[in-house]
Structure 1
Amino acid sequence: MAHRPDHKPRSGGAPSRRTAARLAAVQALYQLELSDGSADAVVREFGQHRLGHEIDGADYGEADRDLFGDLVRNVTADRAELDRVLGTALSAEWSVDRLETVLRAILRAGAYELSSRRDVPPRVILNEYVDIADAFFSGKETGLVNGVLDRLARTLRPDEFEGPKRDPSATAG
C-alpha cells in the first residue's frame, strides 16, 4: 500500500523524519490489521526493507525510527482503549469498526499521540494526520480525521488546545 504518488507535503519539500515515521506507521498498522504478524516483526520489516527506501514509486524517506516503533508498538498494544476513546469522538451512527482500514489506522495513531505523546503539541498532531489522510484519500475522509482528532484534542488536552471550538459534527460520521 502506497500513498498517492501525486501528493506533496504542504511544505512543498520532502517530509520531515517525524512525518515519514507517522506515514510509515499508518502503513504498518494497516498491514498489521490485515495479517497475523506482530508489531515487533512489522517494525523490523519496515526498518530493514522500507524506511529510507523507494518502493513502487513511493519514497518512504528517512524516518524517525524511534517514533515509528513507538507508534506501531503502542497503537497495537492499546488498540482497544484507543477505539473506546475514538468512539467518544465519532457520531452515534459510526463505530470505529465501520471505518475503512487505513482511516482507522490514521485515527488510532492520532489518538495515541494525543493521549500519550505530551512532547508533541496537539495542533502539530492534527496537522500531521490530516496531511496523512490527504495522502491516502481525496474525499471526505480528511475532514473526518480533522473533526475527530479536533474533538479528541479538545477533550484530552484542553489546556494546550485553545481557540474557538469548531463544530466538526458534519465530518465526524
Structure 2
Amino acid sequence: MNHKNFSLARYLAIQAFYQLKQSQLSFDEVLGQFNEWHIKNISFDFNNSYDHLTFDVNKKYFNDILIKYKNDKIMINSLIDENLIDTWKSDRLPKVLYSIIRVAVTEMVLNRKLSFAIIASEYIILTETFFSKKESSFVNALLENIYKKFSK
C-alpha cells in the first residue's frame, strides 16, 4: 500500500482532532463528517499544488487513529502531559500543534511496531506544513521522549 495513503490519513486525523477541540460537535459527528465529506474531497486541499495526483486516503487507518484516541484518550493525554517541560502545559500549546502531537502519540499507541524514524519523519513534515522549524524541533524532541518511555 502506498505510504501516502497513510500520510493523508494522518493529515486528516490532525484536522479531525482540531475540529473536535474547536467545535461543539461530538466525536461521532466529527467522524461522520470526515468519512462522508473530507476523505472523499481531500484533493480540494491540494488542488493548487498537486492537481495531477490522485488522493486515496487509507480510510481504515484514519478511523483506527480516531477510535484509538477515543478509547485511550486519558492515557494518551497523560503521556503528552508527563513529557512536557514544567513551564509548558498542553492547554498552552497552539491547538493545531497539540492536534499534531495527539495524532502522533495515538499512532504510537495504535501501532507499537512503528519505528520512531517513520513517526519523526511524518510528523516533522506535518508540523512544518503549519509551523516553522522551531515548532518541528519541539515536536520531534517531545515525540522522541514519549517514544523512548513508551517503547520500554
| TM-score, structure 2 normalization | 0.84
- 1:6-85 map, 5 Å: 16-53=4-41, 54-55=43-44, 57=46, 61-85=55-79
Shift of 1:109: 1.1
d(CA) in 2 for partners of 1:24, 1:152: 22
1:168 corresponding residue in structure 2: none
CA displacement 1:144-170 (0-9 Å, x = unmatched): 110100111111115xxxxxxxxxxxx
Measured against aligned partners, the alpha-carbon deviations of 1:76-128 in whole angstroms (never above 9, x if no partner) come to 34333222111221111001111110111111111112233124222211211
SS at match of 2:66: helix
1:157 counterpart = 2:142 = no
Moved more, 140-149 or 67-76: 67-76
Which of the two has greater helix per residue? 2
8 Å CA contact retained: 1:39, 1:73: no
Q: Which runs of 4+ in 1 moved over 3 A?
A: 56-60
TM-score (norm. length: structure 1): 0.74
**Of residues 130, 138, 141 in structure 2, which corresponds to 1:147?**
141
Unmatched 5+ stretches in structure 2: none
Partner of 2:132: 138
Quick one: percent identity of the two aligned structures?
27
| Structure 1 residue 55 displacement after superposition | 2.8
Q: For this pair of structures, how many residues does the alignment match?
A: 145
Q: 1:88-167 residue pairs with structure 2 within 5 A?
A: 88-158=82-152
